[in-house]
Amino acid sequence: MTEKHILKPDIGLDDEVVNSVVQVLQTVLSDEMVLYVKLRNYHWNVTGQSFTALHALFEQQYTQLEATIDAIAERIRMYGATALGSMSAFIKTARLKEGDETLPDVNGMVKNLLHDHEAMVRHLRNDVETMDELDDVGAEDMLTGLLQEHQKMAWFLRTYLETL
Ligand SMILES: [Fe+2]
């Protein structure tokens, strides 16, 4: 066996399957980066009566995403692939859209984030299905956990809007 063979992950998944799994993970990584930057933007620039609460809530959410982003990128490396690492690649690959140049008002910020978290729940449900079809239980488990995290983050934002 050549050294190259030994260094290639031998985890019971065909190359084609690995490529498909990695592609899904790169997309999720890109989505999370777009959402992460949006959360930081709003954390910095939120104003008004709810400043303290929302400044803290946005920080809590982007801190949670930081751990997620790192875990997804490192998982991509575990398959022997290179994780995407530039803003242009993230924007090109992501399903979520960057915010406009114009900053929304406070409620607009919360609504945009709620919309993105809910979109992630829908996307991840499909991605989990894809992982199931590809028989990658490790990635399926990770994305299921992520779906639950987005559901919870969406709930916090929805509750804020309901109590206005
Ligand atoms: Fe801060």
Domains of the chain from N-terminus onward: 13-162 (1.20.1260.10)
pTM value > 0.85: yes
Helix 137-162 vs helix 15-45: angle between axes, to the nearest 10 degrees? 20
Q: Which of 100, 117, 116, 104 is nearest to 48 (CA)?
A: 104
Q: In sequence order, which residues have a C-beta less than 8 Å from that of residue 13 and are 6 or more positions away?
A: 21, 134, 135, 136
Give the distance (Å) from ligand 1 centre to CA of residue 15. Answer: 42
Q: What is the pLDDT of residue 1?
A: 54
Give the distance (Å) from ligand 1 centre to CA of residue 147. Answer: 25
Integer CA distances (angstroms), 91 to 58, 88, 95, 112, 135, in order: 21, 5, 8, 17, 28
Give the distance (Å) from ligand 1 centre to CA of residue 108. Answer: 20
Encode pLDDT of 122-155 as tens digits: 999 999 999 999 999 999 999 999 999 999 999 9
Instruction: Summarize the confidence of residues 75-93 as an average pLDDT.
Output: 97
Residue 44, token pair as written in the block: 């910095």
Give the distance (Å) from ligand 1 centre to CA of residue 104. Answer: 19
